[in-house]
Structure 1
Amino acid sequence: MNQIIEVENLSLQYRFIKSLSFKEWVTYTFKASKQDSKMKVFEALHDITFKIEKGKTVGIIGENGAGKSTLLKVLANVYAPDSGNVKIHTDSSSLLTLATGFKSDLSGYENIYINGLLLGLTKKELDEKMNEIIAFSELGDFLANPVRTYSSGMKSKLAFSIACHIDPELLFIDEVFSVGDARFRKKSSAKIKDLIKSDRTVVMVSHSDDLIKEMCDEVIWLDKGKLIAQGGTKEILKDYIAYSNR
């Protein structure tokens, strides 16, 4: 089978409660018949169908709120769709994101194990990669301290250092190209590009048109949760830029 991802008629909705007064909240809580009128529904993805071939690097593009990160999280099995089918033809996949939470009272070392396990590594694999992760993070002795003592930049460095040492057949990347100071950003960007240039399949979200043009074989263009086009990067990106500048 040449396809590693097959998506058919995928839809996903977010449901949330409208802003309520205290009296309305009490009524909403205790009277189920009132719920539908107070529930707002936002369709993040609507009837999306596409396929991705093995070994391709595919960018997901679109304006803010288009559904890019939501689609990526559905593919990575973080979110379950409301309808449609998603078939992933590999057991080796991982989401590279900085959104993974840390346990603030635990040390950096302990959080490496926790986050690494959540990303799919075994303890043996983490032990083998530990020195690389530590060196890449550049946090040194700070790794013995609780993460609550870290700055936001230090947390980002640690999260990136863990995530970029995952080695799956299918890699999902969600906007992680701007981490830490200028020198670390350069290093982290080079690391990501090394991961992308390997033989693995990569699906990535980025707002950088230049990066998409440089790294991607093809793109998927979303707008307001709908699939506008899928195809060669140069052609689709040209149409997308023209649409964005209209």
Structure 2
Amino acid sequence: MSKQGVKVRNIVLGQGRPKIAVPITGKTKAAVLQQAEEIANAKPDIVEWRIDFFEGITDKTAYIETAKALRATLGDLALLTTFRTKGEGGELLLSENDYFGICKTVISAQQTDAIDVELYHDETQIKSILQQAKVANVVVIMSNHDFNATPAKAEIKTCLKKMIAYGADVAKMAVMPQNTADVLELLAATNEASSELTQPVITMSMGNIGKVSRISGEAFGSALTFATVGAASAPGQIPIQNLRQDLEDLKL
């Protein structure tokens, strides 16, 4: 099945080598911009702003001011904006309405190229957000994170396919392995889902045992991997200079 690449600013997910994203986890505007400058110097493909770390996120004005300053700092680097909920490894506990309120603000502010929308939320609100993103020309990466276990291969594939069926541009899943068999399960699911879907998939097995999944995306079909410049946002992320070399060594 031929892959349909997804353009995020000036990179294309799902074509060529896996792209590298680096997270911003600053709590204040100053910290966000300082991290952004350091990350921009390292030249990743995508910057992920983890807005659940940002103390001003429930204040619309504070978010928009910081988002504009961040956009200016990043120049032409692609920006993915993510509010990771507490239940999926994020920093802040929010009601459904507050979560979707933030998603709507992010899209309507028009300062981001892509937004992360978690799969397991109210279906009606998800469909509404997807529609809003489409109109605003914001790429939707739909996600699910399991910090406790690795679901069976069939379940991982079903989850990724459900995201695409909803209308997401890209499907993302991160799981926690208990052993090497779990890592193999994730890689097999990635390989099959990637060949069965036209849209790009992003997967990772977290922690030290899962690090191999962060560097082997080109072989198994994951379109994006997350590296660090300074602070990590999930267990097992690799410093960008090392990850770049790993991807180069494993290129097909």
TM-score, with structure 2 as normaliser: 0.34
Q: Tell me which structure has the larger Cα radius of gyration.
A: 1
Structure with larger RCO (C-alpha < 8 A, sep 6+): 1
TM-score, with structure 1 as normaliser: 0.35
Structure with a larger share of its residues in strand: 1
